[in-house]
Amino acid sequence: MSRSARWLLGLAVLGALLALRHDVPARPHPRRLRTASQVAGAGLAVAVAHAGWLAAVTADSPVTSVRVALAPFGTGLVAAGAAIVALAVALAPAPPPPPASAAERAWVAALVAHPDADSLAPFATRTDRTYAVSPDGRAAIGYRVLGGTALAGGDPVGDRTAAAAAIAAFLDTCARNGWRPAVLGASDAARERWHAHGMRRGVVIGDEAILDVASFTA
């Protein structure tokens, strides 16, 4: 491929990325960017050192030294590898958020006490949960981020009429941070709400058993 063709291909890829930027709501997290800059700096230092070593061992002439130092399978490969790793780190999902504070858990505990709550609602007050809340504050979803996946536990707690808004807030949070959304322990009613928001895949892993203790005999 000629140099002009490579330039045109690179510009075409760059133009496509710019045109599709609004379809990628996730933005690089500041912590990821700092790590990526450190990786890029270390890669640049290695590339410069490698180029200097190549120039020293092939010092037949200045022109030959420069050509060898910048060879595609020499320093160029080192620099390209560092750039790819830095880009991968910069575009990685955002790190897990810190767990909610005691005050936030106390507020969610009040939502758990709502008459619409089910038997799994108390798990929303676990100390490892973070919360996505409906705009009106009448419902919330407790979740935890593991390996780039935001796992919501159970149905939204609080007013059932605000559950759809809490789900939308959770999915928006996932999109902005590059997390894959997942749900564990969703009820049949909540499953329909998740389906309405685009989450189609589901697996049945069990059901609740209700025991009528009053009917037991000694």
The contacts of residue 120 (CB under 8 Å, 6+ apart) are 153, 154, 155, 185
Split into its structural domains, the chain has a count of: 2
pLDDT in the model for residue 64: 60
pLDDT at 157 over 90: yes
pLDDT tens-digit map of 160-205: 999 999 999 999 999 888 899 999 888 888 888 888 888 877 776 6
Q: Based on the domain organization, do 86 and 129 belong to the same domain?
A: no
Mark whether 86 and 122 lie in a shared domain: no
119 shares its domain with 39: no
Domain boundary among 37, 61, 90: 90
Q: Are residues 131 and 171 in the same domain?
A: yes
pLDDT value of position 140: 95
Domain range holding 60?
26-90
Query: 116 and 177 share a domain?
Result: yes
Sign of CA dihedral 108, 109, 112, 115: negative
Q: Which of 53-67, 75-89, 132-146 has the highest mean pLDDT?
A: 132-146
| Selected residue with higher pLDDT from 63 and 193 | 193
Helix H or strand E segment including 198: none
**19 within domain boundaries:** no
* DSSP-based three-state secondary structure for 147: coil
Q: Which of 76, 96, 82, 98 is nearest to 29 (CA)?
A: 96
Same domain, 35 and 71: yes
Query: How sure is the predictor about 29, in pLDDT bands with cuts at 50, 70 and 90?
Result: confident
**Within a domain: 141:** yes
Q: Assess whether 109 and 183 both reside in one domain.
A: yes
Per-residue pLDDT averaged across 118-124, rounded?
Answer: 86
Q: What is the mean pLDDT of the chain?
A: 80
Q: Which two tokens stand for residue 15?
A: 């133009």
In a shared domain, residues 84 and 127? no
Q: What's the pLDDT at 139? A: 93
* Domain-ending residue, one of 44, 70, 90: 90
- CB hemisphere CA count around 9 (13 angstroms): 6
Residue 73 has pLDDT above 60, yes or no: no
| Structural tokens at position 152 | 């919501």
Residue 210, domain member (yes or no): no
pTM for this prediction: 0.69
Q: What is the pLDDT of residues 77-117, one digit of tens each?
A: 777 777 888 877 777 888 899 999 999 999 999 999 888 88
Q: Is 111 helix (H, G, I), strand (E, B) or coil?
A: helix
Domain membership flag for residue 62: yes
Confidence category of residue 28, pLDDT binned at 50, 70, 90 = confident
Q: How much of the chain, in percent, has pLDDT values that exceed 70? A: 76
Q: Do residues 83 and 126 both lie within one domain?
A: no
Average pLDDT over residues 64-69: 58
Last residue of a domain, one of 64, 90, 116: 90
pLDDT of residue 82: 79
Could you tell me if residue 161 is inside a domain?
yes
For residues 191 and 109, state if they share a domain.
yes
Closest alpha carbon to 203 in 213, 216, 191, 215? 191
Strands 149-153 and 139-146, bridge-based pairing: antiparallel
